[in-house]
Structure 1
Amino acid sequence: LLLRPVEEQKRDPNKKGYHRVLVDSRGNTYEYNVSLPVGLIVSFGVGFISSVFGIGGGVIHVPAMIFLLNFPVHIATATSHFILCFSTLVGSITHYTLGNIRFDLAIPMAAGALVGAQLGAKLSLRTKGTIIERLLSIGLILVAVRLIIQAFE
């Protein structure tokens, strides 16, 4: 999903932040407003919560970008994946230097993640944002139920 700006970022005098208009490679237009201070606060909160609970930040970050920052679903998921690249790189280097990586498991998982990411990206281009939101909601509910069950085992 390659995005290019249609127009320069503009300060919207009626709203806080920047007004963004982006068009993807298929011609879909995404229009939304970005507030840098609010985005930084939300991202800090997501990072803190995910670190405390030891979970991936994307599970919290994508819904936060959609519901708190009003990002379009496709932009939120792409942004989350972009951020994930950096945090994953740092974590991978750290675990490699500590000798914590089991390559017999990591290599097949990485191959599966690469294939799954490509298929997911192609599928998301053909899927409406509301369907992605519903699937995300169902996934989060299942994760919550699993965590609750594990807490009482």
Structure 2
Amino acid sequence: MRWCPFCERDSIIGHGRRLKQAHDEYHDWIWIHRGRCAVCGLTFTFLPVFSLPYTHYSLLARSQALQRRFVEHCPWEKALPKLKDPDRLPDPSTVRRWASGLDCSQPAISFLRQAVSRAAYWLYRGRQGLDEAVPPTWITPVLQNLWPLRL
């Protein structure tokens, strides 16, 4: 069972799983777990740290593209991430949109808060890894890529 943030009880039970796009050099599609609170009846989707809701590209792919653009000074058309499926490359305008939300004056507080809270959850639950779909060394390069960009 998992803890429900609304009724604050350890009452979330498994409610199946589904596929979600999470394109990067390691993934095309990933299985994500769903849960339902037995007390309040709410349904939850448990996303891995590297996959934001309503997105098709993982944080690793986004950080690679932005690093290529801003650190390696590639033009938008060449600043595309490495993907497992090269036919799924984002359009350069998509990479530009990813960069449009950058705030150079503040560190990535919202991303870090979300990543830290998820990591804390897994550590609290006694898990050794974040998810079976995540390579064990995945989170370190992403944080190294994202932090200097001040997302």
| TM-score (normalizing by structure 1) | 0.29
Q: Bigger radius of gyration, 1 or 2?
A: 1
Structure with bigger helix share is 1
Say which structure, 1 or 2, has more relative contact order (CA 8 Å, 6+ apart). Answer: 2
| TM-score (normalizing by structure 2) | 0.29
Structure with bigger strand share is 2
